[in-house]
């Protein structure tokens, strides 16, 4: 009989590795993990925490890096099925195109757990999904901006995540919901930066040129911190003061955004825990050892951090976690 130990959903990064969720009943199980790639600091941390969680639970983790390509993820999943793994974790790069391969896993009786991104597919094709409420993340970011600018006119530029991915679609939606009804806040430009630092910088350079050297921009909203770190560099290169001349709000809560915040160059971030694997392993333990069907959606917390939340301390607490 398995013993399920502490489940720390969104319990704060300080607690992350000391109270990791793990399930003794997965000792010796073989679990395949199809990871998207390494586009961001957050992604690197998720990979690193997943490997640590697997090791702690005695799982034989088969890791496959898809280098941002869905076709590589599909190949990896088919490979896991052929090997007869006990379960499969997938962080799906985009939200469509999964029905066939997940149907094959289902036919092989291999439970699939989605990590950090959602898909548009029948829910019976996966056991559970461990992810944040991405619409809420966008809403939290938008509400911060609404509260911060008050009645002032504010032109916003938006750096979107990977086209077709659930966080890009949902974080955009949530932010738009939060600013709706506040006619003084308008999104004047919006483009994908593919969740990477380099593209975030490149796109921000274009926004600055197009908006009077950046003088017409009041705020940047980025769907992740890495794109914001790139945008901060672009602002500095253009002689602007990020965090003062232009407000910033983004998502993930990676150490580098706290370093920028401590330097007065970033204003707000919404936390996304990199520990998606802990809850996933607990769910798999219950299912594989006794047939307990978990909730379809296991939702992690979305907490806002600003300069008032000890950014230096936050940086120190997170910097060694694989970001
Ligand atoms: O799916 C989660 C998102 O993917 C993170 O916010 C981003 O950094 C990553 O690329």
Give the pocket of ligand 1 (CB within 6 Å).
39-40, 42-43, 116-117, 167, 195, 224, 226, 251-252, 272
Same fold yes or no, 5-132+273-300 and 135-271: yes
Residue 27, number of CB atoms within 10 A of its CB: 12
Range 135-271: architecture per CATH: 3-Layer(aba) Sandwich (3.40)
> What is the tens place of the pLDDT at every residue in 149-184?
999 999 999 999 999 999 999 999 999 999 999 999
Using the mean position of ligand 1's atoms as its centre, give its distance from the Cα of residue 32 in Å: 20
User: Of the CATH numbers 3.40.50.300, 3.30.980.20, 3.40.50.2300, 1.20.950.20, which one belongs to the domain with range 5-132+273-300?
Assistant: 3.40.50.2300
Domain chopping of the chain, boundaries: 5-132+273-300, 135-271
Give the whole-angstrom CA distance, residue 84 versus residue 261.
Answer: 47
Residue of 36, 39, 40, 164 best suited for mutating to test ligand 1, as the one with most atoms within 8 Å of CB:
40
Hey, what are 265's tokens? Answer: 């160059």
Residue 167 alpha carbon, nearest atom of ligand 1: 1
Instruction: Specify the pTM.
Output: 0.94
Write out the H or E segment, with its range, that includes residue 197.
helix 197-210
Using the mean position of ligand 1's atoms as its centre, give its distance from the Cα of residue 128 in Å: 19
pLDDT confidence of 4, banded at 50, 70, 90?
Answer: very low
Using the mean position of ligand 1's atoms as its centre, give its distance from the Cα of residue 174 in Å: 16
> What is the tens place of the pLDDT at every residue in 77-127?
999 999 999 999 999 999 999 999 999 999 999 999 999 999 999 999 999
Using the mean position of ligand 1's atoms as its centre, give its distance from the Cα of residue 116 in Å: 8
Residue 195 alpha carbon, nearest atom of ligand 1: 10
Q: Which residue has the tokens 């994908």?
A: 192
Picking from 96, 270, 41, the residue whose alpha carbon sits closest to that of residue 174 is 270
Residue 117 alpha carbon, nearest atom of ligand 1: 1
């Amino acid at each position: 009989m398995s013993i399920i130990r502490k489940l720390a959903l969104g319990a704060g990064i300080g607690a992350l590795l000391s109270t990791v969720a793990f399930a003794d009943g997965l000792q010796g199980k073989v679990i395949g993990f199809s990871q998207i790639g390494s586009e961001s600091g957050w992604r690197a941390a998720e990979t690193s925490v997943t490997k640590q969680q697997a090791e702690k639970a005695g799982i034989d983790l088969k890791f496959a890096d898809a280098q941002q390509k869905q076709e590589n993820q599909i190949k990896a999943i088919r490979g896991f099925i052929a090997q007869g793994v006990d379960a499969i974790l997938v962080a799906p790069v985009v939200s469509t195109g999964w029905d066939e391969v997940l149907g094959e896993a289902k036919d092989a009786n291999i439970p699939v757990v989605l990590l950090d991104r959602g898909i548009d597919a029948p829910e019976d094709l996966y056991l559970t999904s461990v992810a944040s409420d991405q619409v809420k993340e966008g809403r939290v970011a938008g509400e911060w901006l609404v509260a911060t600018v008050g009645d002032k006119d504010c032109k916003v530029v938006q750096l979107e995540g990977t086209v077709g991915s659930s966080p890009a679609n949902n974080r955009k939606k949530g932010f738009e919901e939060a600013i709706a009804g506040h006619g003084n806040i308008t999104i004047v430009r919006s483009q994908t930066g593919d969740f990477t630092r380099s593209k975030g910088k490149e796109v921000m350079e274009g926004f600055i040129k197009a908006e009077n050297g950046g003088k017409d921009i009041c705020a940047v909203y980025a769907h992740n911190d890495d794109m914001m770190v790139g945008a901060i560099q672009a602002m500095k290169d253009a002689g602007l003061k990020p965090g003062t001349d232009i407000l910033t709000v983004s998502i993930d809560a990676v150490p580098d955004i706290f370093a920028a915040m401590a330097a007065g160059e970033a204003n707000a971030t919404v936390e996304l825990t990199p520990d998606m694997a802990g809850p996933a392993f607990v769910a798999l333990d219950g299912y594989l050892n006794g047939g307990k069907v978990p909730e379809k959606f296991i939702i992690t917390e979305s907490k806002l951090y600003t300069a008032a939340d000890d950014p230096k301390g936050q940086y120190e607490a997170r910097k060694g976690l694989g970001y």
